Amino acid sequence: MTDTMPAGDRKPIAPPVDETGPLGWARKNLFSSWGNGITTVVLIAFVVWVLSWFLEWALFTANFTATTGAECRGGGACWALIREKFRYIFFGSFPYEQHWRPLFAIIAMLAMLVLSADRRMWNWRLLVIWGLGSFVTFLLMFGQLHIPLSLILVVALVAGGIGLALRSGLATSSERMAYYALVGIGAVGLVLRIAGVLPKWSIAIAPLSYVETSLWGGLPVTLILATYGLAFAFPYGILLALGRRSNLPLIKGLCVGFIELIRGVPLISLLIMASVMLPLFLPSGTTIDKFLRAQVAVILFAGAYIAEVIRGGLQSLPKGQFEAADAMGLNYPQKTLLIILPQALRVVIPPLINTFIGFFKDTSLVLIIGIFDFLNTANQALVDPNWAGFPGEVYLFAAFVYFIFCYSMSRYSKYLEFELNKGTRR
Amino acid sequence: MRNRIAAAAAGFAVAVLGFAGAAHAGKDLDAVRARGTVNCGVGIGTAGFMLADSQGKWKGLSVDVCRAVAATIFGDSEKVRYVPLTSQQRFTAVQSSEVDIVMGNATYTLTRDTALGLDFTGIYYYDGQGFMVPKKLGVKSAKELSGATVCVAPGTTTELNLADYFRTNKMTFKPVVIEKVDEIRSAFFSGRCDVYTTDASSLAATRAANVPPPQTIDDYVILPEIISKEPLGPVVRHGDNQFADIVRWALFAMIEAEEAGITSNNVDEMLKSDNPSIKRILGVTPGMGKALGVDEKWVYNIVKQVGNYGESFDRNVGMGSPLKIARGQNALWTQGGLQYSPPIR
């Protein structure tokens, strides 16, 4: 007789209850020794205490309905302040009865960003989305757009030039003719315009009342500064990064000089230069819009940082990739755009998004030059003597809104890494 | 004989210059008229003086002066474009024509009035260092403060003024020197010092905003003594005297209207007044507007749309506002204050 049971009769016995499930997990991770047990209990008590205090303040004793700050005093959180001020915090001094305009501008911008986050859109559609999104955003914010002839000519010239460079050797003769036509029209038109033959002419689209940038405020300002700051800084940063690796000494020198100069000074000093020094150098009577000056400062600053991030990606590529592209007979733009950048950018997504998140928050520095971004309008809400004395509520609210944006960006970066690395994952 | 010729020549020269001055307005005023709005630089949010309300509209005592200028030039106090400026930017902005007037609560000093190429056109608020104490101390005057502990920010003129004032009055004090404004406030309201000293307008803003419950604004008093001079005035750039005149007299008109008893409520009845001075001010007897180069009803427009100085003061910083600043030095000269307008005649 053997003491082994036949295989069919063996019954797997579940492990003891206190080894599996939540209980087992807790036992293993939280109460594995006396010391750990005590630490766990103390920490749980602390968390519960803090949380209950916070809930008591933020919910149970909070005031949601007061009509003046005085009524709010003494109790818990004064959310009535946010209720009173949220329109100002979100839209600043934009004419009150027209707040729907910045609201829809925010929606248009968010839609534009969400759509362009989808990889399926990463082709010619991206241009359409951004063109349309930007047009709607600025039409709503300004109310009236005047598109000058020279801008149209510059766009034609640039579009034709890019087409020629990228599609060289690939395009059919009629396509190539179209690019030559665009370049020709753009170049000849601009020369004629500068020579004064063509009149100063612009397309006016003016369905709404004009609202100038000094009245803009709140979330649209933060979003515009960050979105367009980064949207322009990104290609600009790529150019700088490529320039820094160029074999031509002049281009390389200029790019290195620019990057090091910008990285060597704080953003605040650039903003102050743009807002205080620049007007003194301009001829009397000429002023450049303050908002535009800040926007350009943000673009220049972000460009230098993005360039350095992208350079890291470029340097990570093996030399063989460059040589293989050369061997295939691709020209420099084709090589760069089709072979090098797709690989280089994939590597640098995490640091790139990190830079983006940083800059989204850095836009709040414009408050030192008197532009009312989201954080600054929140600050202004605190100054109102009728409602003063509740900084916690206002800053929590502002932090909450910033968190939504920054956290979405960080989640998106995670998704993008997953998507783009599918090819290299096993 | 020679003297007489010289006098005649001088008279002729004055007449020619005067004529030239009146014939065409200065370039700033022309630019303002062509644009249709006054570009008014305002400081970044200061309670009572310039602050956007919940609807985003700029309000305050300084803002009202800009509105008075717009009412003078255009007859419409809403024709103002507000440009928010920080204190670093404000003078550059007016020098570079980005704005026409700066109402940034700038203190009127000789260097600013001359070396910077700017002109202060008046004083809309006499600020200065004051003292705030808890009411329960029962102190009525700064002269009773001997031996008090005083909360003050370090390394500022405020600290020097404080020491000078107590030395001059042969009193002693114990300074509690704290760097950060928030910490000074909490030290004062928690009773670590008996007295808090800084500019009176900022004392009032602190009292309105930072008194911790259950105490209220009535538990603290700002003493009447003001120990330093911080006169705040509108700033324009050198070069267009006519525009500067308009800014100067827009403020004077608000003060003069208060002195004459003209308010936004009674200004229409005042038009029927027999008093020749009031008739002149309101343009019923023409002449004043022509001399200034604006509509004869300019004072009427200011008072009707903005109010007189007293109304504006009361609504924005005075007893009708949360700041509850006493008129003090900003009362009319007839009531013991310093606000004084040269006669409109």
pLDDT band at B165 (very low <50, low <70, confident <90, very high): very high
State mean pLDDT over A328-346: 87
* A129 touching B (Cβ < 8 Å): no
- Short-list B223, B198, B197, CA closest to B144: B223
Residues B237-259: pLDDT tens digits? 988 899 999 999 999 999 999 99
DSSP bridge pairs for B129: B199
Q: Say yes or no for a CB contact (<8 Å) between A275 and B55.
A: no
Is the model's pLDDT at B76 over the cut of 90? yes
- Short-list A325, A238, A170, A333, CA closest to A179: A170
**Listed range (A5-19, B23-37, B67-81) with the worst mean pLDDT:** A5-19
Query: Rounded to an integer, what distance in angstroms lies between the CA atom of residue A25 and that of residue A32?
Result: 10
Query: Rounded to an integer, what distance in angstroms lies between the CA atom of residue A213 and that of residue A102?
Result: 12
* A379 touching B (Cβ < 8 Å): yes
Residues B99-126: pLDDT tens digits? 999 998 888 989 888 888 899 999 999 9
State mean pLDDT over A281-299: 82
Domain boundaries, chain B: 11-126+232-335, 129-228
Both tokens assigned to B144: 């009773």
Residues A158-186: pLDDT tens digits? 888 888 877 776 777 888 888 888 888 88
* B97 touching A (Cβ < 8 Å): yes
pLDDT for A58: 85
Both tokens assigned to B142: 């700064």
- Short-list B240, B267, B272, B242, CA closest to B256: B267
Q: Which CATH architecture describes the domain B11-126+232-335? A: 3-Layer(aba) Sandwich (3.40)
Q: Say yes or no for a CB contact (<8 Å) between A384 and B47.
A: yes
CATH topology of domain B129-228: D-Maltodextrin-Binding Protein; domain 2 (3.40.190)
| SS3 per-residue string spanning chain B | CHHHHHHHHHHHHHHHHHHHHHHCCCHHHHHHHHHCCEEEEEECCECCCEEECCCCCEECHHHHHHHHHHHHHHCCCCCEEEEEECCCCHHHHHHCCCCCEEECCCECCHHHHHCCCEEECCCCEEECEEEEEEHHHCCCCHHHCCCEEEEECCCCHHHHHHHHHHHHCCCCEEEEECCCHHHHHHHHHCCCCCEEEEEHHHHHHHHHHHCCCCCCHHHEEECCCCCCCEEECCEEECCCHHHHHHHHHHHHHHHHHHHCCCCCCCHHHHCCCCCHHHHHHCCCCCCHHHHHCCCCCHHHHHHHHCCCHHHHHHHHCCCCCCCCCCCHHHCEHHHCCCECCCCCC
Domains B11-126+232-335 and B129-228 share a fold: yes
Q: Say yes or no for a CB contact (<8 Å) between B56 and A379.
A: no
Residues A47-99: pLDDT tens digits? 999 999 989 888 888 888 888 777 777 777 888 888 888 899 999 889 999 99
pLDDT for B160: 87
Q: Which residues contact A192 (CB under 8 A, 6 or more apart)?
A: A198
pTM: 0.81
* B44 touching A (Cβ < 8 Å): yes
Q: Say yes or no for a CB contact (<8 Å) between A276 and B88.
A: yes
pLDDT band at B6 (very low <50, low <70, confident <90, very high): very low
Q: Which of residues 290-319 of A touch B (CB under 8 A)?
A: 290
- For testing the chain B interface, which of A87, A276, A379 should be mutated: the one with the most B CBs within 10 Å? A276
pLDDT band at A100 (very low <50, low <70, confident <90, very high): very high
Is the model's pLDDT at A284 over the cut of 70? no
pLDDT band at A398 (very low <50, low <70, confident <90, very high): very high
Is the model's pLDDT at B316 over the cut of 90? yes
- Short-list A344, A337, A137, A120, CA closest to A226: A137
pLDDT band at A425 (very low <50, low <70, confident <90, very high): low
Q: Which CATH architecture describes the domain A219-371? A: Orthogonal Bundle (1.10)
Residue tagged 């766009």 (tokens): A155
Which residues in chain A are closer than 8 Å to B92, comparing Cβ atoms? 276, 279-280
| Longest Cα separation, chain B | 83
**Is B208:B123 a contact under the CB 8 Å cutoff?**
no
Q: Say yes or no for a CB contact (<8 Å) between B84 and A276.
A: no
pLDDT for A303: 92
* B34 touching A (Cβ < 8 Å): no
* A272 touching B (Cβ < 8 Å): yes
**Is B101:B234 a contact under the CB 8 Å cutoff?**
yes
Across chain A, what does the average pLDDT equal?
85
- Short-list A353, A421, A377, CA closest to A117: A353
pLDDT for A392: 84
Residues of chain B with pLDDT > 90, as a percent, come to 50
CA A364 to chain centre: 13
Query: Rounded to an integer, what distance in angstroms lies between the CA atom of residue B45 and that of residue B164?
Result: 32
Across chain B, what does the average pLDDT equal?
86
Out of A85, A370, A389, name the one closest to residue B44 (CB). A370
Residues B185-213: pLDDT tens digits? 888 998 889 999 988 888 988 888 778 77
Q: Say yes or no for a CB contact (<8 Å) between B322 and A385.
A: yes
**Listed range (A21-25, A195-199, A248-252, A283-287) with the worst mean pLDDT:** A283-287
Query: Rounded to an integer, what distance in angstroms lies between the CA atom of residue A368 and that of residue A290?
Result: 12
